[in-house]
Amino acid sequence: MATDANAPTTPRDPWDLPDVSGLVVGVLGGTGPQGRGLAHRLARAGQRVLIGSRDAERARTTAAGLGDGIEGTGNAEAARRSDVVIVAVPWEGHARTLAALAGELAGKLVVDCVNPLGFDKKGAYALKPEEGSAAEQAAALLPESRVTAAFHHLSAVLLLDPEAERIDTDVMVLGEERADVEIVQALAGRVPGMRGVFAGRLRNAHQVESLVANLISVNRRYKAHAGLRVTDV
Amino acid sequence: MATDANAPTTPRDPWDLPDVSGLVVGVLGGTGPQGRGLAHRLARAGQRVLIGSRDAERARTTAAGLGDGIEGTGNAEAARRSDVVIVAVPWEGHARTLAALAGELAGKLVVDCVNPLGFDKKGAYALKPEEGSAAEQAAALLPESRVTAAFHHLSAVLLLDPEAERIDTDVMVLGEERADVEIVQALAGRVPGMRGVFAGRLRNAHQVESLVANLISVNRRYKAHAGLRVTDV
């Protein structure tokens, strides 16, 4: 029986998230601190994780150091073999890396976590990509991928701290398709203490990415590894 | 005895904030929901509060409705009689209102809490002021004032909810002068549950202002009145 798409339905529970435990997660730029930290936390939570790097040998060394079954390989192979691909490359290499991998990333769920920032003697400041944000640049370069944005506000130091059992922070997840956003939310939720919260469309990614400049100021003033929690949610 | 400004000093405790209980707080645009909410919370915490509006009669009516000793008057008089002036006018009237009050606001500590947003059928999105942010526009228009930015992420509904004893959220405070920032932090800290956290210079205000677009998305998805907490601080 065909269902009427316009029939009134009960609003869906926003916390009814899919089971993502069987998905393979690739981390491009996985040898950097953010990429390593995310790979470590997801693998420690039971996810199958591949680290990608321009230098496959370096990815293998990093993966071996992290353990938990993480594999290291080249960026292209990591993209090809993964269901979900986290982009954790430096902003400077963002456009070039993604453009070169458009074929491997076709059909994949891409999670951009890159923060375009500049630094000078007064500290960090936001860079505004021509496309609006790193995530929108990814979406423009990867028209056949399902692009989302998340994992911007995590402290690599905490992610890699073996003493930290929990990462008590929320992950703002942005995207155009609810089903894709919910997969990323569920992935964040695999890490103890972490929660994925929907926080808007990609056109509102710039402020989420560049808020890291503010968190850097917080860290300096309070000697902290600041993150964010969304209250009343 | 003269003190050596270059002598090594113990780093200051960032939570050693000044006593602001004697300061008079003006709220420009104090008849709008955000302005009313802030006026109510600060007065309820014991602060002396003046509500300003283009329409002094309307300000008096609003003030009488709120109680707690709040006074209503015109924007110019509210600015003149206050030590700290919170700018809570709609973005559309921001530049015009401030330009007209530059004289009254000279020497005052100005706290901009305006969020430049646009709205269409897809929801809210960030507007980018020519000066970079509402706060930087205020600083450009008020060269003789001490301009800071804060109180962007508060839910007016919660601020005005008589049942809400506490407002459990952090207030990101931005500014160029530490002494001014600390006064605003201390003011936020007067409200039970609220904490003022230094979050950078004015050049990093845009993302803090426009993050409200994301909180609006959160509110829609989760039927919430979302705010933010900074973790590890």
DSSP state of B4: -
Confidence band, pLDDT 50/70/90 cuts, at residue A6? low
pLDDT tens-digit map of B99-113:
999 999 999 999 999
The single residue listed with the structure tokens 């701290």 is A161
With a cut of 60, say whether residue A2 has pLDDT above it.
no
Q: How high is the pLDDT of residue A1?
A: 43
Q: How high is the pLDDT of residue B106?
A: 98
With a cut of 60, say whether residue A4 has pLDDT above it.
no
Domains of chain A and CATH, by start? 24-222 (3.40.50.720)
With a cut of 90, say whether residue A148 has pLDDT above it.
yes
Give dist(CA B106, CA B97) in Å, integer: 14
The answer to whether residues A196 and B221 touch, using CB atoms and an 8 Å cutoff, is no
Chain A residues inside the 8 Å CB shell of B231: 168-169, 226-229
Residues in chain B: 233
User: Nearest-CA neighbor of B202 among B160, B153, B148, B156?
Assistant: B148
| Assigned token pair, A221 | 């003033």
What is the amino acid identity at position B153? Answer: H
First to last CA, chain A: 37
Chain A residues inside the 8 Å CB shell of B126: 204, 206-207
Chain A residues inside the 8 Å CB shell of B230: 215, 218, 226-228
User: Nearest-CA neighbor of A153 among A220, A214, A86?
Assistant: A214
Q: Is the dihedral of CA A188, A171, A217, A90 positive or negative?
A: positive
What angle separates helix B205-222 from helix A205-222, to the nearest 10 degrees? 120
Reported ipTM: 0.94
Chain A residue set in contact with B, beta carbons under 8 Å: 14, 122-126, 155, 158, 168-169, 172, 174, 197-201, 203-204, 206-208, 210-211, 213-218, 221-222, 224-233
Residues of chain B falling short of pLDDT 70 = 1-10
Backbone phi and psi for residue A229, each to the nearest 5 degrees, phi listed first: -120, 140
B46 C-beta neighbours (distance < 10 Å), count: 11
> Would the CB atoms of B200 and A206 count as touching at under 8 Å?
no
Q: Nearest CB to B217: which of A204, A215, A228?
A: A204
Q: What distance lies between CA A187 and its chain's CA centroid?
A: 10
Residues in chain A: 233
pLDDT tens-digit map of A124-141:
999 999 999 999 999 999
